[in-house]
């Protein structure tokens, strides 16, 4: 079992969770960040990496993906650690007021405070309605996200979907896998036109099989996936051998397990006190899109403000006897941890 020990466990590597690492670092608090997605950046990386944002102070215009990269650079001096691709499930409060946070894959994070920066909740994959799909989840051949492309080296893959994820991973995995078949129910793709063009070129070069106007309708195997049935819109069906099937039909956000933690909620968001963004459970804070209070605005800049005040609250919770004196970064620079 993986076990990590830190000062603050930040749940969510969106912009607000990442900036919280910076604010915590200024107070010499170490952070471990956990995200259910395989990459950092939250909605910015998952939904709109190429869109310009115009309301980040000091940046007249910044691409969402670039903002995430800048945040990662900004927190480098504090050496945060990350667990990516694992959803946080539960927590236990220990006798000394510290916490044990656990993920779906059994990683445990021992921490002195928890900052929930879970945004709209954890993104859950949209699963196609195929019988016995669940029998092949958990490493047995059906994957809803590509966490590590090496998993698929030299495999025969069937990818399904018509959006950016399906196109991007088809292009990337064409270099890694032995064989890639992309199945799409339509004839045109929803994803970026240049990615669709690249997939068509790979198909013409014989590097990708493209099956349009079709759906994957059955999965086959015996404990491990051996193949899938692809049914065309006109009803003709063919069985294809496959080591892995990757349906990429997008992700939907769900508050998920944090909704069951017994914290005071309102409209699927965690209620907080705006002095320090503490929740109804001492030592647990909530910042960014996941929290609610009178006047709440779901904006990145508001989340950054909340992160700064939350860290003051976490500092006091962790060090009840220490007094904190505000120091400007222009005077003190950025300390390292």
In the complex, the residues that contact ligand FAD under the rule CB under 6 A are 11-17, 34-37, 42-44, 47-48, 53, 55, 87-88, 117-123, 256-258, 288-289, 298-301, 303
Q: Least CB distance from residue 253 to ligand FAD, whole Å? A: 7
Please identify, using beta-carbon distances, which residue of 19 and 315 lies nearer to ligand FAD.
Answer: 19
Question: Strands (DSSP E) along 145-242, which ranges?
Answer: 156-160, 179-183, 209-211, 214-221, 225-232, 237-241
Nearest to 86 by CA among 110, 108, 103: 103
Measured at CB, which residue is nearest to ligand FAD? Answer: 119
| 142 annotated to a ligand binding site | no
| 276 annotated to a ligand binding site | no
Q: Confirm if 5 and 51 have CB atoms less than 8 A apart.
A: no
Q: Least CB distance from residue 100 to ligand FAD, whole Å? A: 15
Q: Confirm if 311 and 20 have CB atoms less than 8 A apart.
A: yes
Q: How far apart are CA 31 and CA 40, in angstroms?
A: 15
| 234 annotated to a ligand binding site | no
Q: What is the DSSP string of 100-123?
A: EEEETT--EEEESEEEE--TT-EE
| 289 annotated to a ligand binding site | yes
| 59 annotated to a ligand binding site | no
| Nearest-10 Cα torsion for 154, 157, 162, 168 | -10
Burial of 93 (0-12, 13-18, 19+ CB in 10 A): middle
Q: Least CB distance from residue 293 to ligand FAD, whole Å? A: 14
Please identify, using beta-carbon distances, which residue of 81 and 155 lies nearer to ligand FAD.
Answer: 81
Q: Least CB distance from residue 6 to ligand FAD, whole Å? A: 15
**Which residues face 126 on adjacent strands?**
none
Q: Least CB distance from residue 313 to ligand FAD, whole Å? A: 17
Residue with tokens 């030299």: 154
Q: Least CB distance from residue 12 to ligand FAD, whole Å? A: 3
Please identify, using beta-carbon distances, which residue of 241 and 266 lies nearer to ligand FAD.
Answer: 266
Instruction: Report in angstroms the alpha-carbon separations of 188 from 169, 184, 191, 192, 207.
Output: 17, 9, 9, 11, 19
Angle at 52 (CA atoms; ends 47, 289), nearest 5 degrees? 50
Please identify, using beta-carbon distances, which residue of 43 and 165 lies nearer to ligand FAD.
Answer: 43
Q: How far apart are CA 165 and CA 173, in angstroms?
A: 12
Q: How far apart are CA 250 and CA 278, in angstroms?
A: 32
Please identify, using beta-carbon distances, which residue of 80 and 119 lies nearer to ligand FAD.
Answer: 119
Please identify, using beta-carbon distances, which residue of 7 and 35 lies nearer to ligand FAD.
Answer: 35
Q: Confirm if 230 and 200 have CB atoms less than 8 A apart.
A: no
Q: Least CB distance from residue 229 to ligand FAD, whole Å? A: 32
Please identify, using beta-carbon distances, which residue of 135 and 276 lies nearer to ligand FAD.
Answer: 276
Binding residue ranges for FAD: 35, 43, 48, 88, 123, 289, 330
Binding residue ranges: 35, 43, 48, 88, 123, 289, 330
């Amino acid at each position: 079992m993986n076990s990590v020990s830190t000062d603050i466990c930040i749940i969510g590597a969106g912009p607000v969770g990442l900036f919280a690492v910076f604010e915590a670092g200024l107070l010499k608090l170490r952070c471990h960040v956990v995200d259910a997605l395989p990459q950092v950046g939250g909605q910015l990386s998952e939904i709109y990496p190429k869109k310009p944002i115009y309301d980040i102070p000091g940046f007249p215009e910044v691409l969402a993906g670039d903002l995430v990269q800048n945040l990662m650079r900004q927190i480098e001096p504090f050496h945060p650690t990350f667990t990516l691709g694992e959803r946080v499930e539960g927590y236990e409060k220990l006798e000394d007021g510290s916490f044990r946070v656990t993920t779906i894959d059994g990683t445990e994070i021992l921490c002195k405070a928890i900052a929930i920066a879970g945004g709209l909740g954890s993104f859950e994959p949209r699963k196609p309605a195929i019988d016995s799909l669940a029998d092949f989840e958990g490493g047995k051949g059906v994957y809803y996200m590509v966490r590590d492309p090496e998993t698929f080296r030299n495999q025969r893959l069937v990818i399904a979907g018509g959006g950016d994820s399906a196109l991007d991973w088809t292009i990337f995995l064409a270099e890694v896998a032995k064989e890639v078949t992309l199945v799409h129910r339509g004839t045109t793709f929803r994803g970026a036109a240049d990615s669709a063009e690249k997939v068509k070129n790979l198909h013409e070069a014989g590097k990708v099989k493209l099956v349009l106007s079709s759906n994957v309708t059955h999965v086959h195997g015996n404990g491990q996936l051996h193949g899938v049935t692809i049914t065309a819109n006109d009803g003709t069906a063919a069985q294809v051998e496959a080591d892995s099937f990757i349906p990429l039909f997008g992700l939907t956000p769900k508050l998920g397990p944090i909704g069951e933690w017994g914290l005071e909620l309102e409209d699927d968001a965690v209620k907080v006190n705006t002095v320090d963004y503490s929740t109804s459970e001492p030592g647990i804070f909530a910042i960014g899109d996941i929290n609610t209070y009178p006047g709440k605005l779901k904006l990145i800049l508001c989340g950054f403000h909340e992160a700064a005040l939350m860290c003051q609250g976490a500092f006091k919770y962790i060090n009840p006897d220490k007094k904190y004196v505000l120091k400007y970064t222009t005077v003190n620079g950025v300390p390292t941890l």
